[in-house]
Amino acid sequence: MLEDQLIAAGYWFIYISLELSLLFLCISFLIGLITAYLPPEKVESILSRYGKGIFGNALGSIFGGLLPFCSCSTIPALIGLINIGVPFRIAMSFLIASPLGVFNLVVISLFSVMFGSKVALLYIAFTFLGAVFAGWLLDKFGLKAHLKKVRVVGGHTDETATIPEGNGRWQKMKQKMRSSWYFTKDLYLRMIPYLLVGVGIGAFIYGFVPDDFLVTYAGPSNPFAVPVAAAIGIPMYVRTETMIPICYVLTEKGVGIGTIMALIIGGAGASIPELTLLASIFKKKLLIAYIITIFIIATLTGYIFNFLSPFIIA
């Protein structure tokens, strides 16, 4: 019995690790090409120039969700946006969408492979709308006044600047592809420990945790599972790329898809390291409002996913 469990867990670990690594490398290379042509400075310029009305919140959410920022790089980017005059509401939509990976190709690809394209598309839709309207509401509640005056000395740095550009079009493309490969290799080496930890925990759950236990306490029939998962996720520091393999196994074991989404959004949107960084630029009222915002987005999305689960889960 124990031998069979070990074999099943080991096979799952190896298969999923190889599959996700190949996917991660391919998508990261594509993201590297995108960022080579769309540096943060250009994003700031577009947002400050075209960010009118609710369309500006949508733009902020798109750029925040598309660019591969972690919480450590999202906060300096947020400060940069505010310093050049990007409206507070747009900066907040950017901040909310960025760690959730609303349009991050790596995150969306992992969702598609693990849960299917319907789940991935709904995740994009709900987190995008949540980021757009949350940024707008935070501004309407007058919380801009609770933003500290902070500046980033030196601004952004262009990591690709050390690679000399050629004169011809093909030469420039080669340099950008080389830069994208350096980005991919560096990102993969930094992310693979998190990915393997997630797959390892998932393999353990797959092989050893009884189905009945998880269904009883975190299944779709438990109405409190979603808000509890959102609340548990918020203090966690587990990257979305780590959580997705874990959550895939939890779903296979009978945990509700809504509970899974609440856990992922809560953990990605308001981890302790990110909140610590935000405390340096947010006053207490704005920081609390941000935490409540992430909790509400995670909880509402979770309940909606549970309601739609018969239509999106094969």
Give me the domain span that covers residue 125: 2-149+168-312
pLDDT confidence of residue 283: 92
Is 161 within the bounds of a domain? no
Query: Position 69: which residue type?
Result: F
3-class SS shares of the chain: helix, strand, coil, % to 5: 80, 0, 20
Is 155 within the bounds of a domain? no
Residue with structure tokens 């789940």? 119
**What are the residues facing 282 on neighbouring strands?**
147
Residue 300: enclosing H or E segment and its boundaries?
helix 284-312
Is 79 within the bounds of a domain? yes
B/e letters for 271-309, b = 16+ CB within 10 Å, e = fewer, are beebbebbeebbeeebbebbbebbbebbbbbbbbbbeee
Q: Could you read off the pLDDT of 199-225 as tens digits, one per residue?
A: 677 677 666 655 565 556 666 677 888
How many structural domains is the chain composed of?
1
DSSP conformation class of 162: G
Average pLDDT, the chain: 77
**Other beta carbons within 10 Å of 166:** 12
Is 249 within the bounds of a domain? yes
Is 156 within the bounds of a domain? no
pLDDT confidence of residue 145: 92
Q: Could you read off the pLDDT of 164-211 as tens digits, one per residue?
A: 445 567 777 788 788 878 877 876 787 677 667 766 776 776 666 555
Is 272 within the bounds of a domain? yes
Q: Could you read off the pLDDT of 295-311 as tens digits, one per residue?
A: 999 999 999 998 998 88
Is 263 within the bounds of a domain? yes
DSSP conformation class of 116: -
Is 157 within the bounds of a domain? no
How many angstroms separate the Cα of 226 from the Cα of each of 28, 123, 222, 258? Answer: 31, 15, 8, 6
